[in-house]
Amino acid sequence: MRHDEYIKVMYRIDNVKKEIVNTQALLMNLVEEEDYESNYASHKETGLVYDKRILGDNLTRLNKEMDELEKQLEDN
């Protein structure tokens, strides 16, 4: 792998790590109704409502991308 390609991959890895941390922090700040089984939860500070399925799907996608990027580094 050329140096410029390596830098691009490392930059993307850094961004994906940040996105994973931010998404996990967001999930930790969500408040769910105790008696209500729902895919939605509100943020405890802002009150914004999030769909937990979408956040989970995004986290899965980011983790998969991270695995692929790390594999790309190992292969080269």
Q: Which tens digit of pLDDT belongs to each residue from 18-29? A: 999 999 999 999
Beta strand residue intervals within the chain, DSSP E: 30-31, 40-43, 49-51
Distance, CA of 56 to CA of 41 (rounded, Å): 13
Whether the Cβ atoms of residue 21 and residue 14 lie closer than 8 Å to each other: no
Percent of the chain exceeding pLDDT 70 equals 97
Whether the Cβ atoms of residue 32 and residue 41 lie closer than 8 Å to each other: yes
pTM of the prediction?
0.85
Provide the CA 32 distance to its chain's centre, in angstroms: 20
Q: Quote the number of domains for the chain.
A: 1
Q: Which tens digit of pLDDT belongs to each residue from 33-46? A: 776 678 999 999 99
